[in-house]
Amino acid sequence: MVGVSRNKSAKKIGVLALQGAFASHQKVFHKLSVDAVEVRTPTDLEKVDALVMPGGESTTMSQLLESSQLFDPIKNRLKDGLPVFGTCAGMILLAKNILDGRDDQLSFDAIEIDVQRNAYGRQIDSFEAEIDIDSLDQPFHAVFIRAPRIVSLGSQVQALAYCGDDVVLAQQDNILVASFHPELANDVRLHELFLKGV
Ligand code: GLN
């Protein structure tokens, strides 16, 4: 029985695996010796204590959240304080309001931000920048891919990093969001930060 109880208290991390860059997030957790399981069904969701929503295509993810019947269960877990890290499209899914979204696009309204999809213009659809993050000693290499811009933040939202004038990393209670792709930076520090809060 010793073996059974050994990991009882370990928190289980899930990565929403409907579409997008979920495998890259799993690799980062693997580097941190943390197993991150794929969440595709309500049953998968029940087994996890925290969730990553990856980058990808938020309109597609919105549709898949409905067809997989994951939308409502996730919404309920968010209300109960499920820690979630949303990156890029994942941030769009968690936002209160989406600008330039599809009319039928859903979001969880879990963090009081308005985000504008694909907001950084054509020429710089994708770009990279060194950003300073509160609580990290060294800058973080942030990769922006057709990134959403946070265009307004509510008073409960803490800005944790800027790129130029834009907030690109933000937190409200159990919700952490990044407009860039931390899983592509070959740097585990943001995932580590998320795990600390779990
Ligand atoms: N532009 C994408 C969307 O609206 C997000 C891009 C990304 O996740 N890299 O969903």
Would you say residue 1 has pLDDT above 60?
A: no
Residues with catalytic roles: 88, 181, 183
Domains defined along the chain, listed by start: 12-196 (3.40.50.880)
β-pairing verdict for 50-53 and 13-16: parallel
Q: Which pLDDT tens digit goes with each residue over 16-65?
A: 999 999 999 999 999 999 999 999 999 999 999 999 999 999 999 999 99
Ligand 1 pocket residue status of 56, Cβ below 6 Å: yes
Question: Cα–Cα distance between 88 and 63 in angstroms, integer?
Answer: 17
Ligand 1 pocket residue status of 88, Cβ below 6 Å: yes
Q: Which pLDDT tens digit goes with each residue over 78-122?
A: 999 999 999 999 999 999 999 999 999 999 999 999 999 999 977
pTM of the model: 0.94
Q: Under the phi-then-psi rule, with left for phi > 0, alpha for psi from -120 to 50, and beta for the rest, what region is 90?
A: alpha
pLDDT of residue 169: 98
| Ligand 1: centre distance to CA 148 (Å) | 7
pLDDT of residue 180: 98
pLDDT of residue 123: 62
Q: Which pLDDT tens digit goes with each residue over 167-196?
A: 999 999 999 999 999 999 999 999 999 999
Ligand 1 pocket residue status of 92, Cβ below 6 Å: yes
Question: Cα–Cα distance between 3 and 135 in angstroms, integer?
Answer: 36
pLDDT of residue 4: 44
Task: Quote the tokens at residue 179.
Answer: 């407009």
